[in-house]
Amino acid sequence: MITYRKLGKMGRFAAKIHQYAHTRLYAELNGFRYAFPDWHGCNNFENIRPYTRTEYLKSLVLPTRQLTDFSGFSHWEQIKWALFGYRLPHTVFLENLYRHPEDNINLLGYFNSDFAYDLLKKYKHLIIKWFVFKKEIEDSMQALTASFRPWVAVHVRRGDFVKRGLTFPIEEQKNVLRAVRRDRHLFVFSDEKETIELFKEAGPTTIINPFHHIPQNVFDFWLIKNAETVIGGGSTYAWWAAYLSNQNDYYAPPSTHLWKHHPKIKITKQEI
């Protein structure tokens, strides 16, 4: 059995989708069973379920294979290191796991590498079937947005991106928007209301989430996923929404693992 015990505890909405997709893909391509903790995917997507009791108990004893892109210590791990010489799990490259597959392991990592993204592109036909929204979500959203089709979605991530120096000038996203929008409706999404106001002159459409059964991050993600064109800022949130849409009309800088050290990279159309 392959699992990811920390699923739901590391990163935001799309990061969890990313971790689930890569862990399940590794299991399926190698003919292994997979099982996962309860996470938001169980509530929002069809055919995604949490551990059974037996799977949960088995997951507790599986050895961890920590990927090379994950090097963090938790507070408890630091204490164990200082007192007992505790070492982090064996660190491996994702490529090596595929070359020498192991069953009955727990994965830990971010899956941020060229190899990882190439896998997502190669097996997209499989992966998009895993993330089909539950019928009650899909039907509610389809009815709500019927009069707004087609639309363009712009996603601007600020917050931690500002602190990490990973933001792109909003004017670049505006330039792309002016070039591709045509006469379509516009939705703008950001973790800062002030940022959305910067697109006021473009006349964005605003929809208030009226549904108690749809969390706001799922509501926004669905709207981005169902846009004809997505203009992102490099976050996995917009990347995954555009990827699952299968529209292949996505404008953004490359994913952060490629561009964080290259500030001159521009927003262009990305093949996903």
Taking phi over 0 as left and psi of -120 to 50 as alpha, with beta for the rest, 159 belongs to left
> Among all chains, which residue has been given the structure tokens 């039907």?
139
Same domain, 146 and 222: yes
DSSP the chain: -EE-TTTTTSSSHHHHHHHHHHHHHHHHHTT--B-----HHHHHBTT-----HHHHHHHTTPPEEEETT-----HHHHHHHHHH---PPPEE-HHHHHHS--SSEEEES---SHHHHHHHHHTHHHHTTT-PBPHHHHHHHHHHHGGG-SEEEEEE--THHHHHT----HHHHHHHHHHH-TT-EEEEEES-HHHHHTTGGG---------TTS-HHHHHHHHHHT-SEEE--S-HHHHHHHHHHT---EEEPPPHHHHTT-TT---EEE--
Tell which of 73, 93, 127 closes a domain. Answer: 127
Q: Which of 127, 144, 167 is the last residue of a domain?
A: 127
Identity at 209, one-letter amino acid code: N
Q: What is d(CA 62, CA 65) in angstroms, rounded to the nearest whole number?
A: 10
Indicate the length of the chain as a whole number: 272
Asked whether residue 9 falls in the same domain as residue 123, the answer is yes
Query: Where residue 258 sits, what CATH number does that domain have?
Result: 3.40.50.11350
Residues 263 and 162 in one domain: yes
Answer with the one of 90, 110, 127 that is the final residue of a domain.
127
Q: How many CB atoms lie within 10 A of CB 151?
A: 19
Query: Do 145 and 116 share a structural domain?
Result: no
Residue type, 237: Y
Domain check: are 166 and 236 in the same one?
yes
Do 120 and 158 fall into the same domain? Answer: no
* Domains identified in the chain, total number: 2
89 and 15 assigned to the same domain: yes
Same domain, 13 and 97: yes
Note whether 35 and 157 are same-domain residues: no
Q: Which domain holds residue 87?
A: 2-127
Same domain, 17 and 66: yes
| 8 A C-beta contact, residue 10 and residue 35 | no
What is the C-alpha to C-alpha distance for residues 225 and 151, in angstroms, rounded to an integer?
11
Please check whether residues 72 and 145 belong to one and the same domain.
Answer: no
What pLDDT sits at residue 162?
44
For residues 263 and 212, state if they share a domain: yes
Q: What is the pLDDT along the chain (272 residues), one digit of tens a residue?
A: 999 999 999 888 999 999 999 999 999 999 999 999 999 999 999 999 999 999 999 999 999 998 988 765 556 666 665 666 555 555 789 999 999 999 999 999 999 888 999 999 999 999 999 999 999 999 999 999 999 999 999 998 765 554 455 567 788 899 999 999 999 999 999 888 888 888 999 999 999 999 999 999 999 999 999 999 999 987 899 999 999 998 889 999 876 545 555 556 678 899 88
